[in-house]
Chain A
Amino acid sequence: MSPRPVVHQFTAVLAGRDAVGQHTLSVDDLLRDMGADTEIFAAHVHPEVRDRGRDFREHGDGPSPDLIIYQTSIGSPVGDYVMSRPEPLALNYHNMTPAEFFDPWEPSVAAELDHGRRQLARLARRADHAIAVSQFNADELLALGMAEESVSVSPVLFVPLWENAGVGLVSDTSPTLGSDTSPTFPSPTLSVVGDSGAPSPVTILFVGRLSPNKCQQDLVGVLAGVCALGVDARLVLVGGVSSSGFVDAVRALAEGLGVLDRVVVAGSVSEAGLVSAYESADVFVSVSEHEGFCVPVVEALGFGVPVVAFGAAAVPETLAGAGLVLGEKSPGVVAEAVVRVLSDAGVREGLVARGRVRAGELGLAASTERMRHTLQPLLDGIDR
């Protein structure tokens, strides 16, 4: 009987709640299910998953694996370490934000991102295989010189929050940009300024770090555009902060446009808070300019929230016709799309129905099967 293959995964940060962390843990589960002995190594292991990962600096002390999989998402000393190892190396590429986005805001972060991109080029030369989470990411690896037959595409594995939803609205302590009030997430209804009965405002949701590449400033512009069209709306931004200067500028923009009290910055929320945000949203809008996959878009689809998105990077590929993808993101056009989705039941229902199908296609079960088919040849190719 041949011994079980040994596969070690490496990642810069192992956390239970971020997309790369969830993916790493899911791949670990899958590899074990496929008969491999596995371990995860990281530069930083969050306490919540301490039992699942070890510090990568301890790796050299143990026996050598048959295969190393490196979850590639940022520049890290872990990347240098895996390149120094003699074992076969497979990259699982989640993409890296181009430094240009951070240049005007955080030059030091831009320098780190530059470092990450240079490291990626070296990793692409060293790696034997690569699994990209989107075709967009695969194209980047091909552009770096990887052979087409060495690169495959398999989506991100993440916990489908919508399958465990229905927990009800959760109170939230998220402040608006302009006040310290504690807004809740109201039920979806389209309300028009001046209507009698004072219905609650519609909620435009975006989930993702407050970061220049996500372009939350354009969402504030869209909010102003929607309000200019006579719709009583608010913008809910969920996600941590990548640049405080950027957040300050977004706040100043909201103030300048007179919509400061309509912008809710929820920050990094609990899982229940995130479920509540999706359940309370009327429309999910993304005007991000760089996404390697965009898990929140899929989550919105899963929760039955119609999606309006600027068609940049991997977003059109992830949506695959299940959302309204726009070729431009001027506030007038995106606002028009938002109002159309909110006011036209046929459009909304059509998008929601297509969205649920797409979320199923990218759900954990389907994506795990795809990843299994992608990993099997790598395990079969191990020389034991």
Chain B
Amino acid sequence: MSDSDSPTTPPAAGDHFAARIQAEVVAAAERRRREDVNIARVEREIERAWAHVAPPGAVGPAEELLLDRVDRLSMIDVDAPLGGRPGVKQVKGAIRKGTYWYLRYMSDQLNALHNVHARLLRRMDERLSEVEAASGLDARLATLVSPAVAPGAEIGALLAAHLGAADGPVVVASCGNGECVGALNAAGRSAFGLDADPQAVLAGIDAGYDLRVADAGHEIANAEADSLGAVVIGGGLQRQAVSRLLGLCDAAVAAVGSGGVVAVVPEDAMSRSSVDGELLAGRGLSSAAWLRVFAGAGLEASSHAHGEAGLDAVVIARCS
């Protein structure tokens, strides 16, 4: 069976056209939001107006509503209707009397179990929300810090030289303007870039690189096993909690499979401004830390210096 459309699947020839327009549209909308306060006001007004007229649960997270539903569905009532027709009523009544004592006992047990489950789910939901709030890089913080430095042409050439026999397309996550993708293409590698920031990829799309606006972390996590030749993880994607970075590393290793390559281009934390340093404290790993992560995963990894500013040495791990 074929896979459905996914940014990690190499696109058909016609896909670049729509992908390019999509990136331009999202970038234009964001630009307009920043420049035209009226647009932002209209969007807020639409949200408020719908929240005002829609019933509870139709707006915002629906987890609470779902748990309400668990409560509702979990109630088992053994009192079946008797029916009104002569004869039927008596027969059903006799059956009910004969079995009621046992069904009632079972339904009480089941209802109690379901209610405990629902309560546990509610508590788990609350705790999960607290953990997410504590660990996530929220949208407001993302707007306060400087944009991540994307790998450039020199790193692209360096990667191309070290990919060896890695078979399959190369994905550059947090690709920025795509210079790294361009260098990989120039070296004869089939490569495409993913970046969540439409503004960042526009120049690269104009230059003819295959760049797509997508959540790279999500795409790597959902890529089919052994479907990629190499995954290059750029700095933007590394601004998340360490546990998520480890998960990302595992997903990348699974996506490239045996013979594939996972490369990391970390941001150089030492070259951050003092403001970025404070706001991003604890975000991102150094090259040395990545070497240890890969070693812990049983991979053979090496560090490679380069001359691109703002980025630490490239760490290349080969999967065997």
Contact = CB atoms under 8 A, between A and B. Distances in A.
A321 B58 contact: no
Interface in A128-151: 134-136, 138-139, 148, 151
Contacts of B3: 135
B26 A228 contact: no
B: contact size bracket: 35 or more
Nearest to B53: A252
B62 A336 contact: no
Nearest to B5: A316
Contacts of A31: none
Contact of B50 (A136, A229, A253): A253
Interface string B1-28: 1111100000110110110011011101
B2 A332 contact: no
Contacts of A193: none
Contact of A153 (B2, B32, B33, B38): B2
A325 interface: yes
Nearest to B45: A257
B248 to A, nearest CB: 20
B223 to A, nearest CB: 15
Interface string A316-342: 110011111111101111011100100
B74 to A, nearest CB: 12
Given A138-B1, A321-B17, A336 B29 contact: yes
Given A321-B12, A332-B29, A333-B26, A135 B46 contact: no
A332 B17 contact: no
A256 B53 contact: yes
Contact of A105 (B2, B29, B58): B58
Interface stretch (A168-176, A217-225, A265-273, A279-287): A217-225
A326 to B, nearest CB: 6
A223 B80 CA distance: 50
Interface in B19-62: 21-22, 24-26, 28-29, 32-33, 38-40, 42-43, 45-46, 49-50, 52-58, 62
Instruction: Say what secondary structure dominates the interface of chain B.
Output: helix
Contacts of A148: 1
B113 interface: no
Contacts of B69: 99, 103, 110
B214 interface: yes
B241 interface: no
Interface in B55-92: 55-58, 62, 65-66, 69, 73
Contact of B55 (A104, A224, A337): A104
A256 B1 contact: no
A229 B40 CA distance: 12
B137 to A, nearest CB: 18
A350 B17 contact: yes
B213 interface: yes
Interface string A238-250: 0000000100010
A317 B12 CA distance: 12
A212 interface: yes
A261 interface: no
A23 interface: no
Given A100-B66, A103-B69, A325 B53 contact: no
Given A103-B65, A340-B25, A321 B53 contact: no
Contacts of A214: none
Contacts of B32: 332, 336
A323 B73 CA distance: 40
B42 A224 contact: yes
Interface string A345-379: 00100110010000000000000000000000000
B53 A253 contact: yes
B62 A103 contact: yes
A152 interface: yes
Nearest to B69: A103
A114 interface: yes
B56 A136 contact: no
B25 A324 contact: yes
A104 B57 contact: yes
A325 B17 contact: no
Interface in A199-231: 212, 217, 220-221, 224-225, 228-229
Contacts of B40: 332
Given A212-B58, A320-B12, A321-B17, A333 B39 contact: no
A327 B25 CA distance: 11
Nearest to A344: B21
B5 to A, nearest CB: 4
Scoring B24, B33, B42, B73 by chain A CB atoms within 10 A of each residue's CB, the highest score goes to: B42
Given A212-B58, A217-B54, A326-B22, A228 B39 contact: yes
Given A224-B42, A225-B42, A326-B22, 13 more contacts: A99-B69, A100-B65, A103-B69, A104-B54, A110-B69, A135-B2, A212-B58, A225-B39, A229-B39, A322-B18, A325-B18, A330-B29, A333-B25
17 contacts: A104-B58, A134-B4, A151-B1, A225-B42, A228-B39, A249-B55, A252-B53, A253-B50, A321-B5, A321-B17, A325-B22, A330-B43, A332-B29, A337-B21, A340-B21, A340-B24, A354-B18
Interface of A: 99-100, 103-105, 110, 114, 134-136, 138-139, 148, 151-153, 212, 217, 220-221, 224-225, 228-229, 245, 249, 252-253, 256-257, 314, 316-317, 320-328, 330-333, 335-337, 340, 347, 350-351, 354
Interface of B: 1-5, 11-12, 14-15, 17-18, 21-22, 24-26, 28-29, 32-33, 38-40, 42-43, 45-46, 49-50, 52-58, 62, 65-66, 69, 73, 213-214
Listed from nearest, the 4 A-B pairs whose CB atoms lie closest are A104-B57, A252-B53, A256-B49, A336-B29
